[in-house]
Amino acid sequence: MKDATRFIRLKILSALNGNVSFGGSNVPVYNRVPSDATFPYIRVYSVSTSQIDNTQTKYNADIITRVEVVTRFAGDSGGDLSMNDIMDDCLQLLVSKNSSAFNLSANNFKVYSTTNESLRYLQEDSIDHTYFRAILELSNKVAEI
């Protein structure tokens, strides 16, 4: 069995990078967020890979990847609308019925299902900032070809 996790993550990073904007600027997309990151930003990271739908001839896997949108506002200014707008752009780029964002044929995999497993919203208050986060759990069901 081969692992397609990195290929899924790279496709997500590629699909989002330069294609999501807010307030007239591109929203940066990271796998690891640098210490000097500006807000808002998008973080993409792998969560799990599970073997599913076993057949005698092919390995299939369910690969879960998180796409996390993080916005920050000073004190009690701002709100979660900007986070919602950015996540909406991400969903439109990543979740489609034809899985077009995830063509892995060059890597000998076929994505046969892409679904939004869950989308959670969080608000975190600190002394000087309020953080709004949208966390998408994206499931890609993949067959080795």
CATH of the domain at 61: 3.30.70.1700
Calpha distance 144→61 (Å, rounded) = 9
pLDDT in tens, the chain (145 residues): 789 999 999 999 999 999 999 999 999 999 999 999 999 999 999 999 998 877 767 789 999 999 999 999 987 677 789 999 999 999 999 997 665 668 899 999 999 889 999 999 999 988 889 999 999 999 999 998 8
CB atoms < 10 A from the CB of 70, how many?
22
Calpha distance 49→139 (Å, rounded) = 10
Instruction: Say what the pTM is.
Output: 0.92
Q: Which domain holds residue 113?
A: 5-144
∠ CA 16-6-103, rounded to 5°: 60
Give the pair of three-digit tokens for residue 145.
Answer: 């070809």
Rg (alpha carbons) of the chain, rounded to whole number: 17
Q: How many domains does the chain have?
A: 1
pLDDT per residue over 81-114, tens digit each? 999 999 999 999 999 766 566 889 999 999 988 9
